[in-house]
């Protein structure tokens, strides 16, 4: 667990988010509402390959990262921070803490998809060292939009 004043980051198995908690944060964070339903989060929480990292401030979850880890690869499934907490470096610090966990777990590379129009997220991922490697056309719905596939490779593994 990492501390930054009242801000802390915890990861599964220590982190035990509820589907309700995740859907509330995602619904507020994404411009078009949560891309996942409450049931999708509930199902994901039961998946042995799925994990979550939580950003907690003063006892309240203010952001999360959802991921899948299989062998030496991880994939981001969701990342969200409450709107009132955005632009404070929380996502950057959450991803950095997550990187440390993944390195300790032997992960060598990470993949994610992001809406092509979500330039703020793309710039965040690029600052964190992700590279655009491909595109999935019409991957997203409501609205239909292409996905940019990005990859991060840990150095010196």
101 torsion bin: left (phi>0), alpha (psi -120 to 50), beta (else)? alpha
Q: What is the dihedral angle through the alpha carbons of 118, 135, 68, 6, rounded to the nearest 10 degrees?
A: -20
| 113 counts as catalytic | yes
Marked catalytic residue, from 67, 125, 140, 152? 125
Token pair belonging to 53: 């990292």
Token pair belonging to 100: 């440390």
Marked catalytic residue, from 52, 113, 140, 152? 113
Q: Is the dihedral of CA 99, 34, 19, 21 positive or negative?
A: positive
| 100 counts as catalytic | no
Q: Which residues are catalytic?
A: 113, 125
């Amino acid at each position: 667990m990492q501390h930054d004043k009242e801000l802390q980051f915890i990861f599964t198995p220590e982190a035990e988010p509820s589907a309700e908690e995740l859907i509330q944060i995602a619904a507020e964070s994404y411009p078009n509402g949560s891309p996942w339903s409450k049931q999708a989060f509930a199902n994901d929480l039961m998946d042995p390959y799925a994990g979550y990292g939580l950003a907690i401030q003063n006892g309240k979850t203010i952001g999360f990262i959802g991921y899948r880890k299989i062998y030496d690869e991880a994939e981001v499934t969701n990342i969200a921070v409450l709107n009132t907490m955005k632009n404070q470096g929380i996502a950057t610090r959450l991803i950095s803490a997550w990187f440390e966990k993944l390195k300790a777990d032997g992960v060598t590379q990470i993949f994610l998809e992001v809406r092509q129009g979500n330039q703020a997220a793309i710039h965040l991922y690029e600052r964190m060292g992700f590279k655009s490697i491909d595109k999935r056309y019409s991957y997203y719905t409501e609205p239909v939009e292409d996905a940019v596939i990005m990859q991060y490779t840990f150095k010196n593994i």
